[in-house]
Structure 1
Amino acid sequence: MTAFTSLGLDEYQSSSAISLGRRVATGELSPVQLAECALEIAVREEPRINAYAALMPDRAAAWAAEREREAAEGRIRGPLHGVPIASKDNLYIVGEPAGKGSLTSPDTPAQTASPMVDRLQDAGAVIIGRTTTPEFGWKGTGISPRTGISRNPWDASRTTGGSSAGSGATVGSGAVPVATGTDAGGSVRIPAAFCGVVGFKPTLGAIPVWPGTVNENLSHAGVLARQVEDAEAVFRLSRGPDPRDPQSFFSTPVAPVAGVDGRALRVGVIREPFGIAPSDEVSSVTEEAFRLLEGSGIAEFGEAAMPAPLPRDVFEALWVTGRGFGFEDLIREHGDRMDPGLARLAGLAEHYSLREFLAALGRRRAFNAAAFAVFDDWDLLLMPTMPITAFEAEREVPQGGEAGAPLPWITWTPYTYPFNISGQPAITIPTHLRPGTLPVGLQIVGPWAHDLEVLGFAARAEAVLDPTHASRVAAP
């Protein structure tokens, strides 16, 4: 019988998914042991943060035991072999229902897995549960008719953000090092920033999205993780075309340009994205982070700006019509059981004429052209991820916010949804600079298909902001 190394919960919670997978591959750690650690923390934290639509202890134990047998036979599926993960409850897991945060969803077990889930399981990851989401992922908080309120692991009186609410909460609590997410307006990056973890939204289509959504030209599959190296591993394992998502055939990542011909990476710093200043709390932390990064030598930094105005009207037109018409039959039949904000979109969608919608598409093209042109001067952009820190968990907007807006959640997420309109890769990393306070994230945005450039710079920035990661990051 193999003698596995003892692993305390503290060590488990501080270890990256990649390091855990590496130790499984060498026979040092047991996948069963890792699943037990993950489930123990998840069960302990669940009454406080409500991160899971459902935990899957029996299936997780069986999968972990199978991964352990494979490891003992020298059959390692990939870098996440035997590593516990969680999956957002709008992606399909074979044999599990997908609640999607809605009381209208059937409890029928899925017969086919979503591409991202399928690829991660094929690579040896062990899913311990399905994480919460607001109804059909329609908004940026963690409140749903099906699962109630998800709460921030740093302060349970505060929101997780959404719509990958439970994924942010469970990774932030330390239960799992990786969780899947989806992002159509910030739904990976918002909870990652609020919960103090890494959140990566690849280029549109780079990771196939299935089942499809009513806003497919905004919707990205992504990952929330403890460390950038985990996010990169998930991206490499999950990317690539799938015929169920035609967009996935147009997003082949390009090679990084850092160091090519001896040129340093050029990073443009944006302190007030789209002319919107962050709160004093966020600004003080991000300014400290900018100073550390600018003095680190990992890139050449300069002041940059987004030349285009905030495309709120464009996003509203796409989102209100997509959700309002996409769910109109469901809202007509079951609106009294649905999130009132989502149900309201059916009526709002009726106000858009075809002429107005086509005009919004024209403004989208103009915004995308301006957003892409910024990268004529810069390789990457660096900015705050959110203008605020996490507010009260029961609220849809922070105190004094635009609760009556057509889409209340986009009124406080102006730094995230524009990059869904453009489809560019974006990652948020925690600053780690003010222990004991609510998390603040930094967002790194790259040109279309420059996912590996974004990830590479994010890993180096992570090492500067939290030196405990430095030994794991290669020089640029």
Structure 2
Amino acid sequence: MSDFIRMTAVELLHGYQSQAFSPVEVTEALLRQIERCNSAVNAYCLVDGDTSLAFARESEKRYRSGAPQGLLDGVPVAIKDVFLTRMWPTVKGSRIIDPESTLGKEAPCVAALRRNGYVPLGKTTTPEMGWKGVTDNPIDGVTRNPWNTDKTAGGSSGGSAAAVPLGMGPLALGTDAGGSIRIPAGFCGLVGLKPSFGEVPHWPPSPFGTLAHAGPMSWTVADCALMMNVLTEADHRDTQAIPRRNIDYFAEIRGEPRELLQGLHIAYSATLGYVQPDPEVDDAVRAAAQLLQSLGAEVSEVAPGFDDPLAAFGHLFYGGAANALRDIGKRQRQQMDQQLVAVADKAAQLSMLDYLAAVNERTALCERMANFHQKYDLLLTPTLPITAFKAGREVPEDWPSTRWPSWTPYTYPFNLTGQPALSVPCGFSSDGLPIGLQLVGRRFDDATVLRAGQAYQLAAPLTERRPDLFRVDAAAGEEA
């Protein structure tokens, strides 16, 4: 069983194809791991083993008949509770959403996974409506970090991020409107990709508009690339999605590190010109930059040259929250996360010219980064300036600001620009908490981002290291 919960999606598919084991065996093992570990971290807010096993049995039948379906047949996937699923309600951590009203509908990512034979494991915890960079909500409580349960998993895809390192699913779906895939990936030590805006269809539209991206979270870059081959399938319901380009992302990452990095010009910036990272974070990411250079990439230490766009991001992001709550009455608001209500109420006071000024700043930032990438293929930064802090808080203790974007300065600029950005683990702090590096590429060049991430992970794999909770529970399972 411990072998199954350690396996990547790629490894599972090889086992299914050779009939060394079946999707039912794997799903049973993962459900047992969820039963053992979930209470410690609150990764899943809904688990329905009967439904998961029904999907697994159908997959097993297809393999036995020699006709597997699509690219992920039998691979279990954790689904963030903002994605519509036909069989399970989607309440986004909110008491004001009628669960019954969400049934029978399916988000594009989920529809693509179903067409490719996935096994749904359950719904993962999110802050209410995915509004912040940590994960807790009025229904499900706090989601905790698998490496240290006193710490936050990050957010808003914190449930998905907490599940993967503990072997509670090899693949997970996340969304990212200000860092919500990359923040928890960085804090929890897994891989998370925010694709180029429009590359992965997303419906219904996010409250946060064109800041929001849907994407994959996984233990390895290879699994992330494989999942992208599925998630990029076209869906007419997203009117802002680009036409499918049929890029084989998994094929794009094949090769040795030097081959994958050949000819790449990487700009490394520890600060973006306005951030002061923790020294341990700085050291780990600087070492990663040096490793990429030693493997043949041309690495230059240079900042992209823009001022912190925090105010513009806040106007657009919280303006989206205000719009989402515009028809929500006082009685319903009393049932909600009161900090979400507060930021929405504040943003509702913005003038049209305030909002348009933020749009103008966003446009200028997009142009600056487009010009920057005429010279540099990639921008390398820390994913976050800090490691995970105490769970149940929006910001670290004694932090100078009360709002989460103040400690995510490396992530939200690239929601404004719509560029692809990948978080990859690059080390651990002295107290055992994960550190992540971020690779940002030119818009619609997701393949180069994944290639560089794969090269780094092949050269400096941290994939054998799992949280203590994983090891203890796996051993207990074997003894049982």
Q: Is the 8 A contact 2:78 2:173 kept in 1?
A: yes
Match of 2:84 in 1: 92
**Preserved contact between residue 167 and residue 180 of structure 1 (Cα < 8 Å):** yes
Equivalent of 2:18, from 10, 26, 30?
26
User: Structure 2: which amino acid aligns with 1:281?
Assistant: E
Query: Once the 2 structures are TM-superposed, how far is the Cα of residue 250 of structure 1 from its aligned partner?
Result: 5.8
Aligned partners of 1:446, 1:62: CA distance in 2, in Å? 40
Conservation of the 8 A alpha-carbon contact between 1:427 and 1:444 = yes
| Deviation for aligned residue 1:253 | 7.7
Q: 1:432–1:465: 8 Å Cα contact kept in structure 2?
A: no
Aligned-partner Cα distance in 2 for 1:467–1:356: 45
- Corresponding residue to 1:43 among 22, 35, 49: 35
The answer to whether the Cα contact below 8 Å between 1:206 and 1:253 also exists between their aligned partners in 2 is no
- Residues 1:425 and 2:420 are matched in the alignment: yes
Decide whether the 8 Å contact of 1:194 with 1:438 is kept in 2: yes
Partner of 1:162: 155
Q: SS at 2:24's partner residue?
A: helix
How far apart are residue 27 of structure 1 and its match?
1.1
Aligned 8 A contact 1:54 1:130 in 2: yes
Cα shift at 1:440: 0.3
3-state SS of 1:235 partner: helix
**Counterpart secondary structure, 2:104:** coil
CA RMSD of aligned residues (A): 2.1
| Alignment pair present for 1:323 and 2:321 | yes
CA shift for structure 1 position 288? 2.4
1:202 corresponding residue in structure 2: 195
In structure 2, list runs of 5 or more residues that go unmatched. 465-480
Shift of 1:439: 0.2
Cα offset, 1:390, TM superposition: 0.4
Distance 1:141 1:104, change over 3 A: same
Q: CA deviation at 1:432?
A: 4.2
Shift of the 197–301 alpha-carbon distance from structure 1 to 2, 3 Å rule, reads: same
Structure number with the bigger relative contact order (C-alpha 8 A, sep ≥ 6) is 2
Q: What amino acid maps onto 1:236 in structure 2?
A: N
Q: Which residue of 2 aligns with 1:246?
A: 239
- Taking a change above 3 Å as real, the CA distance of residues 253 and 139 of structure 1, as seen in their structure-2 partners, is farther
Q: Could you tell me how far apart the structure 1 residues matched to 2:399 and 2:320 are?
A: 24
Which of the numbers 99, 105, 113 marks the counterpart of 1:107?
99
Give the equivalent residue in structure 2 for 1:358. 356
The match for 2:340 is 342
Of 326, 329, 332, which aligns to 2:330?
332
Shift of 1:436: 6.7
Contact 1:293 1:461 in 2 (8 A): yes
Residue identity matched to 1:127 = P
Q: Distance in 2 between matches of 1:271 and 1:250?
A: 35
Residues 274, 340 of structure 1: alpha-carbon distance in 2 compared, 3 angstrom cutoff = farther
Residue 71 of structure 1, aligned match among 63, 66, 71:
63
Number of aligned residue pairs? 456
Which residue does 1:138 correspond to in 2?
Answer: 131
- Out of 444, 450, 453, the residue aligned to residue 445 of structure 2 is 450
The yes-or-no answer on 1:462 pairing with 2:454 is no
Q: Which residue does 2:209 correspond to in 1?
A: 216
Taking a change above 3 Å as real, the CA distance of residues 318 and 268 of structure 1, as seen in their structure-2 partners, is same
For residues 14 and 310 of structure 1, do their structure 2 counterparts lie closer, same or farther at Cα, with a shift above 3 Å needed?
same
The answer to whether the 8 Å contact 2:219/2:463 transfers is no
1:235 to 222, 228, 232: 228
Q: How many angstroms does 1:80 deviate by? A: 1.8
Contact 2:216 2:227 in 1 (8 A): yes
Compared CA separation, residues 423 and 252, structure 1 to 2 (3 A)? farther
Post-superposition offset of 1:223: 1.1
Which residue is 1:287 aligned to?
Answer: 286
Structure 1 pair 33/54, CA: closer, same or farther in 2 (3 Å)?
Answer: same
SS at match of 2:209: coil
**Any idea what SS the aligned residue of 1:338 has?**
coil
Normalised by the length of structure 1, the TM-score is 0.91
State the match for 1:268 in structure 2: 267
Moved more, 332-341 or 35-44: 332-341
Q: Distance in 1 between matches of 2:258 and 2:289?
A: 21
Q: 1:386: which partner in 2?
A: 384
Unaligned runs of 5+ residues in structure 1 are 1-7, 470-476
Deviation at 1:324, TM superposition (A): 1.1
Structure 2 counterpart of 1:473: none
> CA separation in 2, counterparts of 1:77 and 1:435?
45
Q: Which residue does the alignment assign to 1:148?
A: 141
Q: CA deviation at 1:296?
A: 2.3
Contact 2:56 2:119 (8 Å CA) reproduced: yes
Contact map agreement 1:184 1:417 (CA 8 A) in 2: yes
How far the C-alpha of 1:292 sits from its partner, in A, is 2.4
Give the residue type in structure 2 aligned to 1:270: S
* Change in 2 beyond 3 A, CA 1:468/1:137: closer
Identify which of 398, 412, 415 aligns with 2:407.
412
What is the Cα deviation at residue 259 of structure 1? 10
> Partner of 2:474 in structure 1?
none
Percent identity between matched residues is 36
| Secondary structure of the corresponding residue to residue 373 of structure 1 | helix
Contact 1:87 1:180 in 2 (8 A): yes
- Deviation of the 1:79 alpha carbon: 3.2
